[in-house]
Chain A
Amino acid sequence: MRVKQLSAFLENRPGRLLYLLNILAEAGINLIAHNIVDASDFGIVHLLVDEPEKALQVIRDAGLVCSLTEVLQVAIPDEPGAFVKRVLEPLAKAGVNIEYSYAYSAPSSKEARIVLKVDDLELGERTLQGALGGDAIEG
């Protein structure tokens, strides 16, 4: 359920995201999902890739600032109410705050995958393991 996510600092101007993703492409790293949060003049790009450690290295080698963060990744059935019942309600009940989250479609298309950065990783993980049981994917 825990996965390593890359976070990179970029200035908020044309071409910077292209520059970052090019680094990964040239290193043969596969991008699974990404998400951008921006302040006015800079932003942070969160990336899920197939080889996070290698990605970290090549991004740093290219002179960018980058770090690895542990986040939760869960799979839920692609049906109404699944995200609410299986993820959000249990986390809220356990008092776990979601700092940011993004979703992407899994290859099988029968399920949606959600990435969650939570304030209490341990508690979040335990809570979701209880709620999702075998549905939770291994990172």
Chain B
Amino acid sequence: MIWNPERETMSRSELEALQLELLREQVAWAYENVPFYRQAFRARGLVPKDIRSLEDLQKIPFTRKSDFRDNYPFGLLAVPRREVIRIHASSGTTGKPTVVAYTREDLETWKEVCARNLVAAGITDEDTVQIAMGYGLFTGGLGWHYAAEHIGAAVVPTSSGHTKRQIMLIQDFETTVFCCTPSYAIYLAEQAEEMGVDLRETKLRIGIHGAEPWSEGMRKEIARRLGVDPIDTYGLSEVMGPGVSGECTYHSGLHINEDHFLVEIIDPQTEEPLPYGEQGELVITTLTKKALPLLRYRTGDITRLDPAPCACGRTMMRMERVSGRTDDMLIVRGVNVFPSQIETVLLQVEGVQPHYVIIVDRERGALDDLEIWVEVSEDIFSDDIGRLRDLQRQAEFEIREMLGISARVKLVEPHSIERSMGKSKRVIDRRDVY
């Protein structure tokens, strides 16, 4: 089944004509309504009219995550505040979050693109969709929620956590679709086994996954242990949230909703565009966003594109599963974590420049583990074990508050980090996420 055959199967030439039309509208919209873009265009001696072909896209300057920070909170908005009916936020590189906003029309678009992904995965109005992605400011939960509601499925908005309850509800509600990060799917399987529940014997049939990188090995394991067809999806809040692209049941790449998102691949160093098939950084231009049009956004995600037709009949270009990052951003349990954020927190809690290392690990059947080793310096040492424990707890609390995920803080002896990890490495990622 295809949700919107008219769009999803249109010929490449029709699609490109549509894209050009929308691109010109979007560029004009951004130029007229967002001072940031107007300045950027002027600095290059560029006006919207200069965009006459899809190739002209390359004349437009890039937008980066730091531009969100510099224009925090609403500097990139193209509409007056009363037009905005939703705000979401994700981690920024330091204290301030990355803020995104939606008009009513944007929410309609969001629903549409996510609905396409769900239908491409094989979901219908008869399914019961349990959404274990976090609800709230994170776009994952509410993004899939509205789309599942839109296609008429029954939505069970469990949000994240409470794993035993998730398993109980899968059984009791006869859930058919489970929506979560891939690592959580494996954790779920592990917990189910401990409870003596065989998830393959439940009504589960499809897994909607995303928000973090994963491998083909993980897909096989999820398929085997949950008895589902695990589907990869991709999105980021700056651009929209989930709904940028998603796999069909052929698992041969993620169909990009190209009538809403125009994609390029560039060499992250030279910033030159790369041809189809070559690996590089994904750059996205929104084509229909009203509140927050985004031109040539550097996602930091490494992938490649394939415009060849797909067996499913969709003509929308496919991107390969994301295979890396261009920066030091970590994704832990679906949450973006920047080492700079952790340093900020530790500095606040201890009042001194911390010696620390971030260790991310994924043990079999367990959730990603975020551990922060902090050396106990003379400045923070106390002979009262209770005070050290308080320090540890406070650091854990503050990290949870800032990142939205929990981390274990481990106090270690001075110099032990250098001894065991080598000099000045700030992050040890032991997972094989890509």
Q: How far is the CB of B116 from chain A (nearest CB, A)?
A: 53
Chain A residues with Cβ under 8 A from B389's Cβ? 40
Q: Is A70 an interface residue (CB 8 A)?
A: no
Q: B386 to chain A: which residues have CB within 8 Å?
A: 38, 40
Q: In whole angstroms, what is the CA distance A40 to B386 when docked? A: 6
A40 to B393, CA, bound (A): 12
Interface residues of B in 375-434 (CB under 8 A from A): 385-386, 389
Tell me the nearest residue of chain A to B386, going by C-beta. Answer: A40
Cα distance A38–B385 in the bound complex, in angstroms:
8
Contacts of A38 in B (CB 8 A): 385-386
Q: Which partner residue on chain B sits nearest A37 by CB separation?
A: B385
Rounded to whole Å, the gap between the CB of B100 and the closest CB of chain A is 42
Chain B, interface size category, equals: under 10
Q: Measured between alpha carbons, how far is A123 from B385 in the docked complex, in Å?
A: 30
Contact string against B for A residues 28-46, beta-carbon threshold 8 Å, 1 for contact and 0 otherwise: 0000000000101000000
| Residue-wise interface mask of B (357-385) relative to A, using a CB-CB cutoff of 8 A (1 in contact, 0 not) | 00000000000000000000000000001
B window 149-173: CB within 8 A of A: none
Smallest CB–CB gap between B119 and chain A, Å?
53
How many angstroms between the C-alpha atoms of A38 and B388 in the bound complex?
Answer: 13
CA distance A40 to B392 in the complex (A): 13
The answer for the CA separation of A38 and B389 in the assembled complex, in Å, is 12
**Bound complex: CA A104 to CA B74 (Å):** 68
Residues from 8 to 40 in A contacting B, C-beta threshold 8 Å: 38, 40
Chain B residue nearest to A12 (CB atoms) is B386
CB distance from B382 to the nearest CB of A (A): 14
List, in ascending order, chain B residues with CB within 8 A of A40's CB: 386, 389
Q: How far is the CB of A1 from chain B (nearest CB, A)?
A: 29
Please name all residues of chain A whose beta carbon is closer than 8 Å to the beta carbon of B385 when the two chains form the complex: 38
Q: What CA separation (Å) do A136 and B389 show in the bound complex?
A: 37
B390 CB to closest chain A CB (Å) equals 8
CA distance A1 to B385 in the complex (A): 31
- Could you tell me the distance in whole angstroms from the C-beta of B42 to the nearest C-beta in chain A? 61
Q: Look across to chain A and name the residue whose beta carbon is closest to the beta carbon of B390.
A: A40
Q: List 4 A-B contacts (CB under 8 A).
A: A38-B385, A38-B386, A40-B386, A40-B389
Q: Which 4 A-B pairs have the closest CB atoms?
A: A40-B386, A40-B389, A38-B385, A38-B386
Q: What residues make up the interface of A, taking CB atoms closer than 8 Å to B?
A: 38, 40
Residues of B within 8 A of A (CB): 385-386, 389
